[in-house]
Amino acid sequence: MPSIIQSMKYNWRTLFNDPFGEIAGSLGDLGTLIPVMTALTASGNISLTSTLLFSGISNIVSGAFFGIPLVVQPMSAIASISLSRGLKREETMAAGLGVATVVLLLSITGGLSRVSSTIPTPIIKGIQVGAGLSLCLNAGSLLAGLDYDSNQWDDNLLWTAGAFILLYGTSRMPRFPVALVLFFVGIVLALIKLISDEGKLPEFGMWWPFIPLIPRPQDFTNGFGAAGVGQIPLTILNSIIAVKYLSEDLLPNRPAPSITGLGISVGLMNLTGCWFGAMPVCHGSGGLAAQYRFGARSGASVIVFGLFKIGFGIMFGNSLTELLQKFPKCILGVMVFAAGMELVSVAENLNVSARDLITHAPSASITPSATTAPSSTISSWRGLTERDKKERFLIMTVTAAAMIALQNAFVGFAAGFLVWALIRLQDKVEDLRPSRIGSMMDENTPLLRN
């Protein structure tokens, strides 16, 4: 992992060379952030002001330290259970604090690093594909209630078609800030809708610090037991391990964040913000893919987004809830769909140039000298048989399909790992057969000669 000075130099250089790409990319994860954050705020499960402030600070710190567009997004399992079961704010906080404590302890002790090194690449790819397709399903749920009804002039399938055409009609124009355009259109439509329905705009109100809330033991029992336990495997698999490998795929020229560093980051974000009613957050492979899809290539994107969050949190706070509720689903759905497809696309190199296929060999063309080390190597990719390709693809798709079918990343991991283990077992059996046949032939050879 690079030093903070190196990361900030890279961030500044990237922002200077492509400001529109970084700013547009910073908005790539809005499709995930806005619906969840708004729903939790409206239900009283979190404080919107605290969420904007503390997640904004986390954005800035993450961008500065890691130097990649590493998002800060909701913990999805905690959010969904908190909404469905009507957890109190203290119980939601307790769930986030419990997950943060477990992840931080596993990171500090090196447990996460040891686990990540043993997971086969096809399973990692499967988790990424499953997360991407889950985002596409979420996009479908956002768009499901829309039609061509002219009464819904601000949020209908005509706007969806226009956003979709803009998204993929500019796919060969990497510098076109498509996310920035979609966000601007969405905010304008939301403001018009808010004025027409409520006759007002978000109110200005300076934020003042307040005393943190202390969850009771019963809150930890209810919150962590109901929502936190199920979030732990999802955070480890999709928010830490998958993020590291996705970063290596999307940004091969940048040092990837370490498993330990990501785990510590997730732990510290929640151990600071959750005490003040902030939404439990984590990093995520879907958010990283979304930021990358819309142009972000450095930590500058999330730093800019973090500054906006802090500014809006201080100036407007909870009064932004109604505006966020008016943001058109037709645009959010398209942004979520684009993020999902970007995440699915990382599977294309599974059998071609995945990291577990890289081999290093001494370079015959390099003559050792005063400036070159005798051990200079070149990298190539290990070839696979057709059976190997099919089996790797099978492991990946089983992982993704099980994850989507049961909406559980750990179930997907377990299913993929079981298939991988069964295939390895068959390999062991096949390895034994030739030696056994050979030994039998040796025993019969004298008889055959006679």
Whole-angstrom Cα distance, residue 192 to residue 185?
A: 11
Determine the Cα angle at 408 with ends 404 and 414, to 5°: 95
pLDDT by residue (tens digit) across 130-170? 888 988 888 888 888 888 766 688 888 999 999 999 999 99
pLDDT by residue (tens digit) across 6-42? 999 999 999 999 999 999 999 988 888 888 898 888 7
**Using an 8 Å Cβ cutoff, are 29 and 243 in contact?**
no
In the predicted model, what is the mean pLDDT of residues 178-189?
90
Name the nearest CA neighbour of 103 among 114, 112, 113: 112
pLDDT of residue 366: 44
**Using an 8 Å Cβ cutoff, are 163 and 186 in contact?**
no
Burial class of residue 271 (count of CB atoms within 10 Å of its CB; 0-12, 13-18, 19+): middle
pLDDT of residue 369: 44
Is 185's pLDDT higher than 60? yes
pLDDT by residue (tens digit) across 49-92? 999 999 999 999 999 999 999 999 999 889 888 887 888 999 99
In angstroms, the Cα distances linking 405 to 81, 130, 277, 338, 411 are 18, 9, 32, 21, 9
* Range list of H helices, 258-350: 259-273, 285-293, 300-315, 321-326, 329-344
